[in-house]
Amino acid sequence: MLKFKIIYITSLIILGVLIAFTVFRPISTAGEYTEVQREHLLEREGEWVIEFDIINREGKDISYTIKVVADGKLYTENILIRDGGIFTYIHHFYPDRLTNNEVSFAVYKEGGSTPVEQATYFLK
């Protein structure tokens, strides 16, 4: 009987610790990362607009490459974002210039072969 009480109390303590970690997340010093936020595809009169923010939380200045492909045409932009900085990327597409109505983009960190973020849109 005493053995079950000890197991029960121990499991309650572990459960309490797990709940505390989900509510009060400890601050990690290894939280260095790049984030793409506010990704939008907007339809306006006579155009489509892709817009997104790149946020640098790497702990140092980083160069990024943005690659946009529309109808087989590659548009590339290289940018430097300071540590803690935000860059807003905006690209306009005009429906009368698109034939297959497919647009994709990818964001790469300097020297990286895997994109930080990528997306493909099929426009009507």
Which CATH number covers residue 57? 2.60.40.10
Task: Specify if 72 maps to a domain.
Answer: yes
Strand 102-109 with 62-70, pairing: antiparallel
pLDDT band at 81 (very low <50, low <70, confident <90, very high): very high
Amino acid present at 95? P
Task: Specify if 104 maps to a domain.
Answer: yes
Q: Range with the lowest mean pLDDT among 9-13, 50-54, 99-103?
A: 99-103
Task: Specify if 14 maps to a domain.
Answer: no
Q: Confirm if 78 and 124 have CB atoms less than 8 A apart.
A: no
Rounded to 5 degrees, what are φ and ψ at 120? -130, 135
In whole angstroms, what is the distance from residue 120 CA to residue 11 CA? 47
pLDDT (mean) for 91-97: 84
Task: Specify if 3 maps to a domain.
Answer: no
Amino acid present at 75? Y
In whole angstroms, what is the distance from residue 43 CA to residue 30 CA? 39
Can you give the residue range of the structural domain that contains 74? 33-122
Task: Specify if 18 maps to a domain.
Answer: no
Task: Specify if 85 maps to a domain.
Answer: yes
pLDDT (mean) for 46-58: 88
- Domains contained in the chain, number: 1
Burial 86-95 (b: 16+ CB within 10 A, else e): ebebebebee
In whole angstroms, what is the distance from residue 20 CA to residue 63 CA? 38
Q: What is the pLDDT of residue 67?
A: 93
Task: Specify if 54 maps to a domain.
Answer: yes
Using a cut of 0.85, tell me whether the model's pTM lies above it: no
Size of the chain, expressed as the number of residues it contains: 124
Task: Specify if 10 maps to a domain.
Answer: no
Locate 58 and state its tokens: 């790497």
Other Cβ atoms less than 10 A from the Cβ of 55: the count is: 16
Question: Please, what is the average pLDDT of the chain?
Answer: 85
